[in-house]
Amino acid sequence: MDHRLATDLRRLPELLGLTLRYAQSVLDGLDERPVVPSRAVGAGGGEGLDEGPGEGLGQGLGQGLGEEGGGVEGALAEFGARWAPWLSASAGGRYLGFVTGGATPAALAGDWLTSVFDQNSNSGLDGAGQALERETVGLLRELFGLGPEHSGTFVSGATLSNTVGLAIAREWLGERLGVSPAEDGAGALGTVRVLSGAPHSSIGKALSVLGLGRNALVTVPTLPGREAVDPVALDRALADTPGPAVVVANAGTVNTVDFDDLTAIAGLKRRHDFWLHTDAAFGAFAGLSPEHAHLVAGLGLADSVCVDLHKWLNVPYDSAVQFTRRQDLQARVFSNAAAYLGPLGPDPDLVHLTPENSHRLRALAAWFTLRAYGRQGHREIVERDIDCARRLGDELAADPAFRLLAPVRLNVVCFTLADRPTPERLAALREAAAGEVFVTPTVFGGTAALRAAFSNWRTTHTDVGRAAQALRTAAKGLG
Ligand SMILES: *Cc1c(COP(=O)(O)O)cnc(C)c1O
């Protein structure tokens, strides 16, 4: 054994202790460190990170691999000095960009143990990993009020969950037309139409990956001033669509967290032939709050459902779940037949259900947090985040420097500057505030805007106060 490896093996308890103490110092410092270090704030594409070596960031770049490593201790020291200061505090309570969750204590413990056990949970051949993953899917089904008709699989994020859902939809279209895209290619389907009101960008990406093409997407009008699809317009669009179609319903849009009427959309199946895929990446969690559960009424009527877990469940990246009523079609798409793998059977191994073959025991972090905090604990996170969003919305609405672009429906505040809301001024505002609060840019209704999304279990009213203060100060600084 290489002498560095042998030394690290001998010192493992001590080195894990060192790493633990380092991890603790990072977590203890979350409240005080910059939410995003100033030189790492990009205008959108992470440009700041490409500015080259300067003060701090990138210091010592270009050392190369070299022959001999520094062991755990050396790697940790180098990481702590060269990289850690430039990573964002996205695990903390004032990182409000995109839709970003943190990691609950139990999720963190589960994630560490995922690496300790280092399972490849893709089959039932080697222990209980796959069974644990299935048990966790069952817990999530309960959490979201789905029934046993929905099977589920873990994937790396909502983009993959949408991709898998639409891959099953593609195979369903084939079934309707008497062909199999999995065998004969997407071309066997002819022209495919995927109808949606305000789909997430990942839907276009999924259609590209699946060979259906981004142009398969037909954007259906939304209700006036809203991001929710107009059910009458959808009815009409379906009537104009020859043959079976796919509808992507949106349960929680990223700009204004608007919800399609899922029950009304499912009701259109009485008149039209379509696969209903619902993107509920973070919106599914509205179901945990009695006051907001009506927003996701009808979620279970979908043929496939996407839910992200590294957002509002607060497990570490990367984790999401894909639910479907047609596991048989899913297995047709993703089956990975080989002599050394098990037969498909009625309950196929996970290797036959997603684009991945090998994968980590991704479910363990979710299992830990669900067992540790239960429905009540996760409801509290969701309700507190909603309350924080409402408070920030109230603070900004009351401030003449700002203007809300939509009511705070759930956990996102979509706002802009009252005076000259140009992308440049908003970027300057964002960067000036980024040490205290990180928000991300968007455009809503043709107006450049900012979004503050609350989905971290750590966020408190104190964070809202600090965030509002930072935004006010930054706005004053713009002149
Ligand atoms: C975040 C999000 C996605 C994509 O999720 P990733 O985890 O980044 O892959 C898809 N749809 C919606 C509605 C989202 O909010």
Rounded Cα gap, residues 447 and 225, in angstroms: 12
Q: What is the reported pLDDT for 50?
A: 41
Q: Which atom of ligand 1 is nearest to the CA of 157?
A: 7
Residue 38: per-residue pLDDT: 83
Residue 56 pLDDT level (bands cut at 50, 70, 90): low
Asked whether the beta carbons of 413 and 389 are under 8 A apart, the reply is yes
Distance 112 CA to ligand 1 centre (A): 24
What pLDDT sits at residue 125?
Answer: 87
**Residue 44 predicted with pLDDT over 60:** no
Tens digits of residue pLDDT in 275-304? 999 999 999 999 999 999 999 999 999 999
- For residue 347, what pLDDT band results from cuts at 50, 70 and 90? confident
Provide the CA 136 distance to its chain's centre, in angstroms. 18
Ligand 1 center to 401 CA (angstroms) = 31
Q: How far apart are CA 113 and CA 271, in angstroms?
A: 50
Give residue ranges with CB within 6 A of ligand 1: 99, 157-159, 162, 200, 202, 252, 254, 279, 281-282, 308, 320
How far, CA to CA in Å, does 364 sit from each of 50, 119, 442?
A: 35, 10, 34
Domains by residue range for the chain, with CATH: 3-89 (no CATH), 120-369 (3.40.640.10)
**Pocket-testing residue among 100, 201, 254, 451, ligand 1, by greatest number of atoms within 8 A of Cβ:** 254
Query: Looking at the predicted structure, is the pLDDT value of residue 175 above 90?
Result: yes
Non-local CB neighbours of 35 within 8 Å, separated by 6+ positions: 88, 89, 92, 94, 95, 434, 435, 436, 437, 438
Across 373-393, average pLDDT: 98
Atom of ligand 1 nearest to the CA of 282: 15
So what's the pLDDT on residue 346? 83
What pTM did the predictor assign?
0.95
Phi then psi for residue 68, to 5 deg, are -110, 140
Q: Above 60 in pLDDT, residue 477?
A: yes
- Distance CA(236)–CA(98), nearest Å, equals 33
Atom of ligand 1 nearest to the CA of 318: 7
Q: Whose CA is nearest to atom 12 of ligand 1?
A: 281
Q: From the CA atom positions of the chain, what is the Rg in Å? A: 24
Asked if residue 453 has pLDDT above 80, the reply is: yes
- pLDDT score at 431: 96
DSSP states along 97-151: SSS-----HHHHHHHHHHHHHT--TT-STTSSHHHHHHHHHHHHHHHTT--TT-E
DSSP 169-215: HHHHHHHHHT--HHHH-GGGG-S--EEESS--HHHHHHHHHTTS-GG
- Split at pLDDT 50, 70, 90, the class of 470 is very high
pLDDT digits (tens, 9 = 90+) for 96-119: 999 999 999 999 999 999 999 999
Closest atom of ligand 1 to CA, residue 320 = 7
